[in-house]
Amino acid sequence: MNFAPVLDLLSQRLGLDPETLGTSSLRAALSACMRVAGCADPATYAQRLQREPATLAALIEEIVVPETWFFRGGDLFWFVAEQAVLARRDRPGQPFRALSLPCSTGEEAYSLTMAGLELGLTPGLLHVDGVDISQRALAAARRGVYGSLSFRQTDATLRERYFRPVGDRWELRPEPREGVRFLPGNLIDPRLLLFEYPYDIVFCRNVFIYLTAQARQQALANLARLTVAGGLLCMSVAEALPATEDRFKRWGPPAYGLYRRAGDRPGRATIPPLSLRPASSTAPATPATEAPLPLTPALPVVSANLLDQARRLADQGKLEDALAACLAEETAHGASADLFALVGVIQQSRGEESAAQDAFRKALYLDANHREALTHLLVLTQNSGRFSEGSGLRRRLQRLGDEENP
Ligand SMILES: C[S@@+](CC[C@H](N)C(=O)[O-])C[C@H]1O[C@@H](n2cnc3c(N)ncnc32)[C@H](O)[C@@H]1O
């Protein structure tokens, strides 16, 4: 059978190079999926894959390679956790942000939170997003129940500390799950995580080997966008980037496959300044020569008076005055999660939904557990049909509720 139309589609959509998957197992998987879809002709099947997301998703589940395990790469995770501790010393109050892309069943993401916990990075100080194209892998990651093969490189004491036995498997305890989200996404999609702030480290291991040359370029463009200037990219040693790649330069012990993103300070262009002033504000524009912004702003002391005043004004429907009081608070004491959440509420009342969402996101960036911001953002994402983002927010709210009423 000539599978070429299906293989072409797979390389376009996923970037997969069919040669890397083993011809006979790939053919077997394609034949099985075509049978389930009730389709005998590859060209017709390829057309269905084009227009039926569920048919494509079912095929993806059969062909991806989800192989992964905890602490794959050994000391790498301890090394990265140390970097996180050091980075936080330089910018207290700000979480270290990591992305596991692809995360498969979650072992990479949780290895980092376990290493972080061991080094004192309590929940809230480390935030990890895991992204994968396989919904089945993401569901397993969220479940967090693992068999013995996942522990092939894990110290037994760590397994005892962070897992509880369930039959012949092990269930991750709540603490290493804190601050971890799992989201669907395609590594080569230019819109991947478009609204996320760039990360301090991006793990992208054991997937380039399956990609076509063109897909690697697309993936690298995403990795460059998603890694903060001066931040780290982690590839597997077998997937070294070409020496001509000038956005990333080798860094750290060679065995860890680390690269530093070009740029000597956090990218102002990539991280939106956490300022309340809307672009249309009549306030003077920020001078170009102003001192560089830190990666994320330090958490300031909030002035209860100005914030209370802003709240009262908002309650009275004096939205302009309330915003002015917020600006005064920001000028006097800097940004804070409470302040951004209030600005979001005011903007929502003014019907400025996208500005309001932006404000709630900024609040959550400063305080990932800000209940008011989570709740408002959840409603706004649901209203605009972004259900996958909404379900992540709902889970965070549920977790907060579980903590408060254990
Ligand atoms: C071998 S696992 C690697 C997991 C982990 N990074 C590690 O090194 O242990 C490869 C993962 O890549 C995912 N994947 C393949 N193509 C992808 C794509 N285009 N976008 C996102 N994930 C993809 C698969 O679903 C699979 O879970």
Q: Whose CA is nearest to atom 24 of ligand 1?
A: 64
Q: What is the pLDDT of residues 82-108, one digit of tens each?
A: 999 999 888 888 899 999 999 999 999
The residue contributing the CA closest to ligand 1 atom 16 is: 14
Question: How far does the centroid of ligand 1 lie from the alpha carbon of residue 28, in Å?
Answer: 20
Mean pLDDT of 373-391: 81
What angle do helix axes 53-63 and 42-51 make, rounded to 10 degrees? 110
Split at pLDDT 50, 70, 90, the class of 1 is confident
Which of 133, 135, 214 for mutating ligand 1's site (highest number of atoms within 8 Å of CB)? 133
pLDDT of residue 149: 97
**Residue nearest ligand 1's atom 27 by CA:** 104
Q: Is the CB of 132 under 6 A from ligand 1?
A: yes
Encode pLDDT of 133-168 as tens digits. Answer: 999 999 999 999 999 999 999 999 999 999 999 999
What phi and psi, each to the nearest 5 degrees, are found at residue 381? -70, -35
Q: How confident is the model at residue 405, as a pLDDT?
A: 60
**Which position has the token pair 């997003």?**
129
Give the pLDDT of residue 264: 59
Residue 307 has pLDDT above 60, yes or no: yes
108 lines ligand 1 (CB under 6 A): yes
CA distance 196 to 361: 9
Q: What is the pLDDT of residue 280?
A: 33
Per-residue three-class SS string for the chain? CCCHHHHHHHHHHHCECHHHHCHHHHHHHHHHHHHHCCCCCHHHHHHHHHHCHHHHHHHHHHHCCCCCCCCCCCCHHHHHHHHHHHHHHHCCCCCEEEEECCCCCCHHHHHHHHHHHHCCCCCCCEEEEEEECCHHHHHHHHHCEECHHHHCCCCHHHHHHHEEEECCEEEECCHHHCCEEEEECCCCCCCCCCCCCCEEEEECCCCHHHECHHHHHHHHHHHHHHEEEEEEEECCHHHCCCCCCCCEEECCCHHHCEEEECCCCCCCCCCCCCCCCCCCCCCCCCCCCCCCCCCCCCCCCCCHHHHHHHHHHHHCCCHHHHHHHHHHHHHHHCCCHHHHHHHHHHHHHCCCHHHHHHHHHHHHHHCCCCHHHHHHHHHHHHHCCCHHHHHHHHHHHHHHHHHHCC
Residue 214 CA to residue 188 CA, distance in Å, equals: 10
Q: Is 206 in the pocket of ligand 1 (CB under 6 A)?
A: yes
Query: What does the pLDDT read at residue 286?
Result: 30
Q: Tens digit of pLDDT for each residue in 247-285?
A: 999 999 999 999 999 985 443 333 333 444 333 333 333
What is the model's pLDDT at position 297?
29
Give the pTM.
0.69
pLDDT, position 303 = 54
pLDDT reported for residue 350: 82
The finding on whether 330 has its CB within 6 A of some atom of ligand 1 is no
Q: Which of 56, 67, 100, 104 to mutate to test the pocket of ligand 1 (most atoms within 8 A of CB)?
A: 104
Query: Average pLDDT over the chain, rounded to whole?
Result: 86
Q: Which atom of ligand 1 is nearest to the CA of 13?
A: 19
pLDDT score of 262: 94
- Please name the residue whose Cα sits nearest to atom 26 of ligand 1: 66
* Atom number, ligand 1, closest to the C-alpha of residue 187: 20
Q: Is the pLDDT of residue 117 over 60?
A: yes
Is the pLDDT confidence value at 404 over 90?
A: no
Query: How far apart are alpha carbons 120 and 85 in whole angstroms?
Result: 8
CA 341 to chain centre: 21
For position 19, what pLDDT does the model report?
Answer: 80
Whole-number pLDDT of residue 116? 97
For residue 101, how far is its CA from the centre of ligand 1 (angstroms)? 7
pLDDT surpassing 50 at residue 292:
no
pLDDT tens-digit series, residues 9-66: 999 999 998 888 767 888 889 999 999 999 999 999 999 999 999 999 999 999 999 9
Q: Which two tokens stand for residue 100?
A: 């596991």
Report residue 8's pLDDT band, with 50, 70 and 90 as the boundaries: very high
Ligand 1 in reach of 68 Cβ (< 6 A): yes
